[in-house]
Amino acid sequence: MKWKRKAAQPAATACQLRSGAQPFGALKGYVPLGAGEAEMYHQLREALPVLDAAVGKLVRLSGGFAVKCRNEAAQGRLENFLRTVPTGYGQVGFDSFLSCYVDSLLTYGRAVGELVVADGRLQAVCWGDIASLEIREGENPLELVLCGPDERGFVRPLPYQDLLLFTTWQPEPKHPYGVSIFRGMPFLAEILLKIYAAIGSNWERAGNVRYSVICKGGEGMDASAAQERGSQMAREWVKAMEDGRNGTVRDFVAVGDVEIKVIGGEAPILDSEIPVRQLLEQLVAKTGLPPFLLGLNWSTTERMSTQQADILTSELWALRRTVEPAVQKVCRTFLALEGLDDRVEICWNDISLQDITQEAQANLYKAQTEKLRREANEGGAEQ
C-alpha cells in the first residue's frame, strides 16, 4: 500500500498588528459598539439644534449618485431597483437608505445595514441600530463578525454575515471601529447648555417678578399689633396683584413708610453673547461647515470663500469614498442575483458650492485663454 502525501499547504500570511494571545477564549475579540456613548450623541443632537442641522446639511450636501453598467439591460434594471427598492419603515428608494446610513455614520462613527434576500432575489435594503450590536474579529484578522441578540436575548453572531453592511468613519488605532463627528463636543456642549438654562431661569424670573414689601415705622408697637399689621398688608398686596392678573387695576394703599423692591432687580444679567459665540465656534469648527450655513451670521457680509468651498468639497468627497464600498456591494449583489454582469461603476453627482455665475465666468475665461493660445500656436507654425 502506498501512502499518498498531501501537497504542502502554503503558510498563511501572519497579521502582525491585529493578532495576539487572549487568555479568555470566550471573550476573544468581542468589542461593544458603545450603546451608552451612542445615547449621549443622540441627546447632543436633541439638545443643540445646530448640531442636528450640521448633520442634516452634511447628509444632503453629500449628494446622490448614478450607476454605470457594462450593458443596457443591467443598466435599466439596476436603476429601476435603486429607485423602487424598499428600505424599511415606509421608505422607498436607495437614496432614503443612503441618507439614514450616512446619518448614522456621522452621528455614531459607524453604520450598519442589511441586504434582504428572498426567493433568490434582493428584495430590500434596510439600515439598523448600531447601538444594539457587538463586533468581534473573525478567524481572519481582516474579517469582522457582527453579533446581535437572539430570541432569548443572548448575543450571538448573526447568521448571514455576507448580507450585512458595515462602515466606519475615520477609524483610529485606539478606536478601530470609527469615531463620531461629535467626539470632543460633550464638554463644550455641557457648558453651553448651562448658559442656556441660566438664561431661561433669568428671563423667567424677570418675566415673573417677585416683590419685597417692607413696612417701616413700627416703633412703640407691640408684637401682636405688628404681626396683625403685617398680615393685613400682605393680604392687600396679594389682592392687588391678583386683580392685576384678572385685567382690573387696583391700587395698593398702605399707611406708614412702605418700601417695595423687586427681588434680584439690582443684579445685572450676564452678557452671554461672547461666551456662547466662542463655544459655538468650537462646535461648528468640528463639523467643517461654514457658520452661515447653520444660520450663524456673525458677519454682515459673510459668504463662502473659494478656500472654504474647496475644503468642504474635500470633506464631502471623503464621506463619499467611505460609503462607496457599501453602495457597490448592494449594486453588485443585485446584479449577481439577477444573473447579470456585476461590474458596475458608481458615478457621484458633482458638488456645486460656488456661485453659478462665477463658475460660468471662470469657464469663459478658460475657453478664451485656450483659444488665444491655439491661435498663437497656429500663427507661429505658419511663420
Residue 167: which of 229, 109, 230 has the closest Cα?
A: 109
Residue 2 above 60 pLDDT?
no
pLDDT of residue 12: 45
- 26 — pLDDT class (breaks 50, 70, 90): very low
Mean local confidence (pLDDT), 44-71: 92
Max avg pLDDT among 12-16, 236-240, 321-325: 321-325
Residue 73 above 50 pLDDT?
yes
CB 128 within 8 A of CB 112: yes
pLDDT of residue 303: 65
- 256 — pLDDT class (breaks 50, 70, 90): low
pLDDT of residue 37: 80
Mean local confidence (pLDDT), 30-38: 63
pLDDT in tens, 93-108: 999 999 999 999 999 9
Mean local confidence (pLDDT), 279-295: 88
pLDDT of residue 34: 57
Mean local confidence (pLDDT), 191-209: 81
State the cell numbers at 118: 428572498
Residue 3 above 60 pLDDT?
no
- The CB-based long-range contact list for 68-71 (8 Å cut-off, 24+ gap) reads 68/344, 68/345, 68/346, 68/347, 69/335, 69/340, 69/341, 69/343, 69/344, 69/345, 70/341, 70/343, 71/340, 71/341
Residue 107: which of 40, 60, 48 has the closest Cα?
A: 40
- 317 — pLDDT class (breaks 50, 70, 90): very high
Residue 9 above 60 pLDDT?
no
Residue 207 above 90 pLDDT?
no
pLDDT of residue 233: 77
Max avg pLDDT among 29-33, 229-233, 364-368, 376-380: 364-368
pLDDT of residue 244: 57
- 81 — pLDDT class (breaks 50, 70, 90): very high
pTM: 0.75
Q: 356-373: b or e for each residue (b if 16 or more CB lie within 10 Å)?
A: eeeeeeeeeeeeeeeeee
Distances (CA, A) of 47 to 30, 53, 129, 374: 32, 12, 21, 60
Mean model confidence pLDDT for the chain: 81
CB 107 within 8 A of CB 42: yes
Length of the chain: 383
More confidently predicted of 273 and 122: 122
Mean local confidence (pLDDT), 315-344: 94
Percent pLDDT > 90 in the chain is 34
CB 133 within 8 A of CB 33: yes
- 229 — pLDDT class (breaks 50, 70, 90): confident
Residue 325: which of 126, 165, 117 has the closest Cα?
A: 165
* Dihedral (CA of 185, 318, 102, 353) sign: positive
CB 299 within 8 A of CB 291: no
